Amino acid sequence: MREVCIIGCGMTKFGELWTKSFRDIFVEAGLKAIDDAGVDHIDSMYVGTMTSGLFVGQEHVGALMADYLGVAPIPALRVESACCSGGMAIHQGILDIASGNSDIVLVGGVEKMNDGADATYALSTAADQEYEVYQGITFPGLYALIAQAHMHKYGTTRQQLAQVSVKNHYNGSMNPNAQFQRKVTLEQVMNATLVADPLTILDCSPVSDGGACLILAPLEIARKLNKPIIKIIASEAATDALALHQRKDITTLNAVKVSAEKAYKKAGMKPSDIDVAEVHDCFTIAELCIMEELGFCEKGKSGKFVEDGNTALDGKIPVNTSGGLKSKGHPVGATGAAQAIEIVEQLRGSAGKRQIKNAKIGLAQNMGGSGASSVVHILKKLND
């Protein structure tokens, strides 16, 4: 199996991109990634998108994007794993290169969520239609159930949940690609419009348009380029029951736990080796639960862990330096790729005001639905 590196990155600004079409958004991100990598061809392509058929009425996404990016007739596939689609596209591209099938692979994701179908309806397709959606539950409702259970079981407070949003908005205020480049206070989060008790609108990631792409190549090609070598030392995925009622404990995200354990084992590392992490904070409670499954803190202690500043830019383990899904935005098909891009920028030392000093090893965790799918990538900078 060949070793795989990231040699190029490109993304659009996230937000309400009314003047750009679905294809325009992906092509913009793809061209930026190609330009950053300095490559003259693409061997294959994997495009993550969750539900373009509902949002914009477009399927057959792989062929469309290869055509408009100007790289056809290469193999180009659409990858779907709900909000984990972008991360799974990266995972597929890694396997393609590791197997020796391709040398230069474009991976990424795109979503145009502000046109077409109602976002609540489209996103609900990632939940169990017969046992959850039919009963009227939404994703804010599902994560509110997780939050209530976590608060009851571990004593997590409403203020600790809000602190996740405050931190991520602070980080996002320094990210030029973020949808919300503004800070929020604890009081603003806690007193915002209630969506699903205890989650207010400032506990929830927004509806976003955006695209993000990366160029992957084997280590031997990356070594020939005059830039930092960012190697993917692990990429592991796992799934769990789709519906919350099928799980033994809804405060445990087993897909995250298993994908992380496999990734740490593959990389020969432990949680304390990670310098910076991007995690799937679709809701503030998600970030808390994920940190526990990644081993950054003890089970049930994530609220206090965040409250004490351990996940801030100058903390023990900076989490969501990009602003996370909460501030940067969450165009669901693109999110996993954007997370990986933030880790690459941190390892390259090009993250600007949100740069983590001496970052050498980073982790990106992307999740689908209420935790039914998860992929974890661990990246390492090989040279200075």
91: annotated active-site residue: no
Q: Catalytic: which of 9, 83, 84, 297?
A: 83
Query: What is the SS3 assignment for 204?
Result: strand
Residue 244 and residue 142 in contact, taking contact as beta carbons nearer than 8 Å: yes
How far is Cα 281 from Cα 73, in angstroms, rounded to an integer?
37
Token pair listed for 132: 């959850």
Q: In Å, what is the CA distance from 7 to each residue of 32, 35, 76, 110, 228?
A: 12, 10, 19, 20, 9
CA gap 306, 256 in Å, rounded: 19
DSSP-assigned states of every residue in 292-315 = HHTTSS-TT-HHHHHHTTTTSTTS
Q: Specify whether 9 is catalytic.
A: no
Give the list of residues 6+ apart from residue 34 with CB closer than 8 angstroms, or none: 8, 10, 42, 106, 215
Instruction: Please identify which of the residues 169, 280, 330, 377 carries the catalytic annotation.
Output: 330
Radius of gyration of the chain (CA): 19
Torsion over CA: 227, 228, 233, 238 (sign): negative
For residues 111 and 208, give the distance between their C-alpha atoms in angstroms, rounded to a whole number: 8
Please tell me the distance from the alpha carbon of residue 367 to that of residue 276, in angstroms, as a whole number: 18
Catalytically active residues, by annotation: 83, 330
